[in-house]
Amino acid sequence: MLKLGLIGKGISRSQSARLHVLLGRMCGMDVTYDYLDSDQIADFDLIKQLTKCADTGYAGVNVTHPYKTSARKLITPRRRLPEALGAVNTVVFREDGWRGDNTDFVGFMRGYRQQFGDAKPGTVLQLGAGGVGLATAFGLRGLGADKILIHDKDVARGEELVATITAADANAVFVGESDLADAVRSADGLINCTPIGMNQYPGCPFDVDLFGGQKWAFDAVYTPVETAFLRAAAKSGMEVMTGFELFFFQGIEAFEVFSGAEIDADAARKEYFSAYPEALTG
C-alpha cells in the first residue's frame, strides 16, 4: 500500500488522485490518495498536518496553494531543486528525514521538450508571477531561455519574481502595463500563468490583435484544456502546449519521487485518456 495525499486549500476539484492511483495501478501498486483540505480541517497548521501524515504512514504528500512557500521553509530540499526556488510541491517522508521537491518546474521542462523538442524558448513573455509562475520561470531558466519577460498586475509580486530568478543567473525583466504590447510583439514564446481562461474565469489574457510572429504558446490552465488563448495562438501559427502537459508531467515526477518507480509517460498518457476521455476537452 502506497499512502499519498494532497495538502491545500479548496482542492475538491483536483484531478491528482485519479492520476496517482492510475500510475500506481500501472506499477502493480495499491495506491490511496487523500485530499487534506485546510478548509475542512479545524485549526489547520501545516507543520502539524505534515507531522500527522508522516506519523500515520503516508509515503509522501503533494502540497499546493497556498502552502508551497511555507513548505519550502520547513523541509530540506532535494539536491536537484534550485536553491533560489522558494516553493515545494512534493514532500517525501523518509526515516532519515523529510525531503522536499518542486515537480512543477521539472514537469514544465519535460512538457516543453515533449511538445517542442530541442527548440530553445528564445525571448518569453510570461503573464503571472504566482506559484505556478515561479515554477515556469525556473523551468525557462533550465531550458536556456534567452530572456524572460514577467508581467503581473501586482507589480511588487512581479518584481520579486524577477529578482529571484535574476539572482539565479537568469536574464529576466519586469514588464509594466505601458510596455506590455511591445513585449507581446517581441516575444518568441507566450505563457499564461494567470487564472484567466479557466472555466470560472473565461477570456483570453493576451490581446490577440498582437499575435503574429511568435513561435510558441503555453497556458497553465487545464480546465478547459483548449483555452481561448491557445485557440487564438494556434490560429495565428504558434505551436501550443496545453496546461494538461504540466499537470501530467509534474504528477509523473511526483509519483516517481514517492514510489521509486520509473513511469513510461507514453503508456501512462494512453491509460489516462482511456480511463478519463473527458480530460481531452477539460
Tell me: the pLDDT tens digits for 89-131? 999 999 889 999 999 999 999 999 999 999 999 999 999 998 8
SS3 124: strand
Q: What is the pLDDT of residue 112?
A: 98
The residue-averaged pLDDT of 71-100 equals 89
Residues labelled catalytic: 67
Alpha-carbon distance of 103 to 107, in angstroms, equals 6
> What average pLDDT does the chain have?
95
Question: Residue 282 pLDDT more than 70?
Answer: no
| Helix %, strand %, coil % of the chain (to 5) | 45, 20, 35
What is the dihedral sign for C-alpha 92, 96, 97, 102? negative
Q: Is the pLDDT of residue 279 over 90?
A: no
Q: Strand, coil or helix: what is 223?
A: coil
Enter the C-alpha cell of residue 171. 536574464
User: Which of 3.40.50.10860, 3.40.50.12280, 3.20.20.20, 3.20.20.30 would CATH assign to domain 2-101+245-280?
Assistant: 3.40.50.10860
- 79, pLDDT greater than 90: no
Q: Which cell numbers in the block locate residue 267?
A: 503508456
The Cα-based distances of 74 to 7, 69, 78, 79, 238 in angstroms read 14, 9, 13, 16, 41
Domain segments of the chain as ranges: 2-101+245-280, 106-241
Cell of 102: 518542486
pLDDT at position 78: 86
In the three-class reduction of DSSP (H, G, I as helix; E, B as strand; rest coil), residue 193 is classed as: coil
Buried b (16+ CB within 10 A) or exposed e, 98-137: bbbbbbbbbbbbbbbeeebeeeebbbbbbbbbbbbbbbbb
CA-to-CA distance for 174 and 151, rounded, in angstroms? Answer: 6
The strand order across the sheet containing 90-94 reads: 31-37, 2-8, 60-63, 90-94, 97-101, 76-77
Identify the burial level of 61 via C-beta atoms within 10 angstroms of its C-beta, where 0-12 means exposed, 13-18 middle and 19 or more buried.
buried
Specify whether the CB–CB gap between 186 and 157 falls below 8 A. no
106-241 classified as CATH 3.40.50.720: yes
Q: Is the pLDDT of residue 281 over 80?
A: no
On the question of pLDDT at 30 being above 70, the answer is: yes
The per-residue pLDDT for range 44-58, each reduced to its tens digit, is 999 999 999 999 999
Q: Is the pLDDT of residue 210 over 80?
A: yes
DSSP states of 47-81 as a string?
Answer: HHHHHHHHHTT-SEEEE-TTSHHHHHHHSEEPTTS
Mean pLDDT of 6-27: 95
Helix (H) or strand (E) holding 2: strand 2-8
pLDDT mean over 126-143: 95
The model's confidence at residue 7, banded by pLDDT at 50, 70 and 90, is: very high
Same fold, 2-101+245-280 and 106-241: yes
CA pair distance 26, 9, nearest whole angstrom: 29
522558494: which residue's cell?
86
